[in-house]
Structure 1
Amino acid sequence: MKVNLPVLDLTLWYAGGESRRRFLAELGAAARDVGFFYLTGHGIAQSQQQAVLQLASDFFALPQADKNTVQMVNSPHFRGYTRLGGELTLGKADQREQFDIMAEQSTAQVQSGEPAWWKLYGPNQWPAALPQMQNTLLHWQDQLTDLTVTLLRAFALVLQQPEDAFDSTIKDGPYRHMKLIRYPGRATEQAKQGVGAHKDPGYLTLVLQDGQSGLEVQTEQGWVSATPLPGAFVVNIGELLELASNGYLRATYHRVSSPPAGIERLSCAFFMAAQLDATVPLLPLPAELAKQAKGPASDPLNPLFYQVGQNVLKGRLRSHPDVAAAHYNALQHVV
Structure 2
Amino acid sequence: MQQKAILPVLDVRELQAGGERKQKFLDELAEAARTVGFFYVSGHELCRLQQQVLQLSKRFFDLPLNDKLAVEMVKSPHFRGYTRFQGELTQGKPDRREQFDIMGEQARVHFDNSDPQWWQLVGPNQWPQALPELQPVLTAYQDALTELTVSLLRAFSEALQQPRDSFADNLSQPYTHTKLIRYPGSDDASDRQGVGAHKDPGYLTIVTQDEHSGLEVLKDHEGWVAVPPLDGAVVVNIGELLELASDGYLRATYHRVVTPPAGIDRYSCAFFVAPQLDSVVPLLELPAHLKDQALGPSADPDNPLFYQVGENVLKGRLRSHPDVAQAHYFGKAS
TM-score by length of structure 1 reads 0.97
C-alpha displacement of 1:331: 2.8
Partner of 2:30: 28
User: Is the 2:154–2:166 Cα contact (8 Å) retained in structure 1?
Assistant: yes
8 Å contact kept, 2:197–2:256: yes
- SS in structure 1 of the partner of residue 15 of structure 2: helix
**Residue 277 of structure 2 corresponds to residue 276 of structure 1:** yes
Per the alignment, residue 195 of structure 1 pairs with 195
Tell me what 1:255 maps to. Answer: 256
Query: What's the CA shift for 1:238?
Result: 0.2
CA shift, 1:293, in A, is 2.6
| SS state at 1:99 partner | strand
Q: Which runs of 5+ in 2 are unaligned?
A: none
CA deviation string 1:226-280 (max 9, x = no partner): 0100110000010111110111112010000000011010000110110000100
Quote the sequence identity (%): 64
* 1:115 and 2:120 aligned: no
Offset of residue 51 of structure 1: 0.6
Residue 43 of structure 1 deviates from its aligned partner by 2.2
* AA of the residue aligned to 1:212: H
User: Is 1:139 matched up with 2:140?
Assistant: yes
Structure 1 residues 215-230: aligned runs within 5 Å: 215-220=215-220, 221-230=222-231
How far did residue 294 of structure 1 move? 3.7
Contact 2:217 2:227 in 1 (8 A): yes
TM-aligned CA deviation for residue 187 of structure 1: 4.6
Shift of 1:158: 1.5
Aligned residues: CA RMSD: 1.0
Q: Which amino acid aligns with 2:57?
A: A
Matched, 1:180 2:180: yes
Instruction: Please tell me whether the aligned partners of residues 100 and 179 of structure 2 are also in contact (alpha carbons under 8 angstroms).
Output: yes
Shift of 1:82: 0.2
Q: CA deviation at 1:45?
A: 4.2
CA distance in 1, matches of 2:193, 2:186: 9
Indicate the SS of the match to 1:31: helix
Aligned counterparts of 1:2 and 1:20: Cα–Cα separation in 2:
25
1:312 corresponds to 2:313: yes
Once the two structures are superposed, residues 110-164 of structure 1 have per-residue CA deviations (whole angstroms, 9 ceiling, x without a partner) of 2121111000000000111001111111111111110110001001112110110
Q: 5+ unaligned residues in a row in structure 1: which ranges?
A: none
Q: How does 1:129-168 map to 2 (within 5 A)?
A: 129-168=130-169
State the shift of 1:330 in Å.
5.3
For 1:33 and 1:74, the matched residues in 2 are separated by 41
| Equivalent-residue separation in structure 2 for 1:298 and 1:120 (angstroms) | 26
Provide TM-score, normalisation by structure 2: 0.97
**Partners in 2 of 1:39 and 1:212 — Cα distance?**
18
Amino acid at match of 2:217: V
Separation in structure 2 between the aligned mates of residue 330 and residue 222 of structure 1, nearest angstrom: 37
Residue 7 (str. 1) matches residue 20 (str. 2): no
Q: How far apart are 1:79 and its partner, in Å? A: 0.0
> d(CA) in 2 for partners of 1:44 and 1:318?
31
> Would the aligned equivalents of 2:46 and 2:145 in 1 still touch at CA under 8 Å?
no
1:66-115 deviation digits (Å, cap 9, x = unpaired): 10000000000000000000000000000000000001110111212111
Q: Could you say which residue in structure 1 is the equivalent of 2:213? A: 213
Q: CA deviation at 1:44?
A: 2.5
Aligned to 1:39: 41
What SS class does the counterpart of residue 304 from structure 1 fall into? coil
Q: Is the 8 A contact 2:47 2:234 kept in 1?
A: no
CA distance in 2, matches of 1:298, 1:154: 26
Matched, 1:126 2:133: no
3-state SS of the aligned residue for 1:329? coil
| Whole-angstrom CA distance in 2 between matches of 1:190 and 1:110 | 46
Q: Secondary structure at the match of 2:194?
A: strand
* 1:179-233 Cα distance to aligned partner (Å, 9 max, x none): 0000000251222000000011111111000000000001011111001001100
TM-superposed CA distance for 1:295, in Å, is 2.6
Q: Quick one: distance in 2 between partners of 1:187 and 1:115? A: 45
